[in-house]
Structure 1
Amino acid sequence: MNWADFSSAEPDLARTVEERFGAFTHHTLATLRKDGSPRTTGLEVRFLNGELWLGMMPDSLKARDLERDPRFCLQANPGEGQTLGGGDVRISGRAHEVTDPETKTRYTEEVEPPEPFHLFRTELTEVVRTSVEDDKYLVVQVWKPGEPVRTIKRT
């Protein structure tokens, strides 16, 4: 399921997630190293043409990780201070490298990344938003493909 599918299924949550990612330029990407241990690195992301795109420098460790094992988790930059305006947002899925010249050209017309670069299209497996409501409740929204958003509220 791509970003357009998710946005169609859950427009309110999708809008909130995009706003959180749009609040800052750099976010945190988690990938899996060759030995299976996690690696976290900074990353810029783009929501374009119904897709969530991950672009990165050639032969970067995170690109190598994704080529070997496409699973990832992406966390929106929490920002400064003690509060998470808009909540904590995470997207998990699989990243598939795009090598098609036409698709990469369309992407570069929108984004203008430094050349050369790796470009990955994402397939979503989970979107999670954690927030605080009324300074009292911890609210966790969890979405998975084929399921409605599940909301958990705790005091």
Structure 2
Amino acid sequence: MTSWNDVEEAEPQFAARVRAILVARKHLTIATLRADGSPRISGIEVEFADGQLGFGSMPNARKGADLLRDPRFALHSATVDPPEGAPAQWPGEAKLAGRARCTGALDGPAPGLAFVADVQEVVHTHLNEAGDRLVVEFWHPGRGLRRVERE
């Protein structure tokens, strides 16, 4: 299993940028797979703790049932537009894909299931310093960090 800590150890600056985007807003979007294989999009909150990226599912929520049946997921940060007149200041967006591992009941007052991410891909999409090219940085376990610029 590849934990969030593994990403931080391999690429600390990249991981810090991605983490900042993921925690900048409370609500993110997660994609799971329904029983028929079609995608389901749900809102979600995440937490970084003890080197893990974790999230929960309320009792009887479909996303939790999806993840118990098929642990594959994709997580997407909140999306904001680049600042008018200063596109290079746009923090970009972050995406993470992997497999969710159920760790049992949620801690705290809310009932539900807790999950941690087995990280298989981390992506940061942003603009270059001039603000005129799209930059896609992506990290995979065992393959490291790659960067692609597009017009």
Paired residue for 2:119?
124
Task: Give the deviation of 1:74 after TM superposition.
Answer: 0.2
Measured in 2, the distance between the counterparts of 1:30 and 1:113 equals: 26
| 1:67 and 2:68 aligned | yes
Where in structure 1 do 4 or more consecutive aligned residues deviate above 6 Å? none
Measured in 1, the distance between the counterparts of 2:147 and 2:101 equals: 29
The structure-2 alpha-carbon separation of the partners of 1:19 and 1:113, relative to structure 1 and needing over 3 Å to count, comes to farther
| 1:25 and 2:21 aligned | no
Q: Secondary structure at the match of 1:135?
A: coil
Task: Give the deviation of 1:141 after TM superposition.
Answer: 0.4
The structure-2 alpha-carbon separation of the partners of 1:90 and 1:148, relative to structure 1 and needing over 3 Å to count, comes to same
Give the structure-1-normalised TM-score. 0.87
Amino acid at match of 2:140: K
Task: Give the deviation of 1:128 after TM superposition.
Answer: 0.7
Gaps of 5+ in 2: 84-89
Measured in 2, the distance between the counterparts of 1:137 and 1:153 equals: 6
Measured in 2, the distance between the counterparts of 1:135 and 1:86 equals: 11
Q: State how many pairs are aligned.
A: 143
Measured in 2, the distance between the counterparts of 1:130 and 1:21 equals: 13
The structure-2 alpha-carbon separation of the partners of 1:113 and 1:49, relative to structure 1 and needing over 3 Å to count, comes to farther
Amino acid at match of 1:90: K
| 1:141 and 2:140 aligned | no
Task: Give the deviation of 1:113 after TM superposition.
Answer: 5.0
Q: How does 1:69-148 map to 2 (within 5 A)?
A: 69-79=70-80, 82-83=81-82, 85-99=90-104, 108=107, 112=108, 114=110, 116-133=111-128, 134-148=130-144
Deviations 1:71-92 (A, max 9, x none): 000001114xx22831111000
Measured in 2, the distance between the counterparts of 1:95 and 1:56 equals: 11
Q: Secondary structure at the match of 1:149?
A: strand
Give the structure-2-normalised TM-score. 0.90
Alignment RMSD (CA, Å): 1.4
Identity between Structure 1 and Structure 2 (%):
39
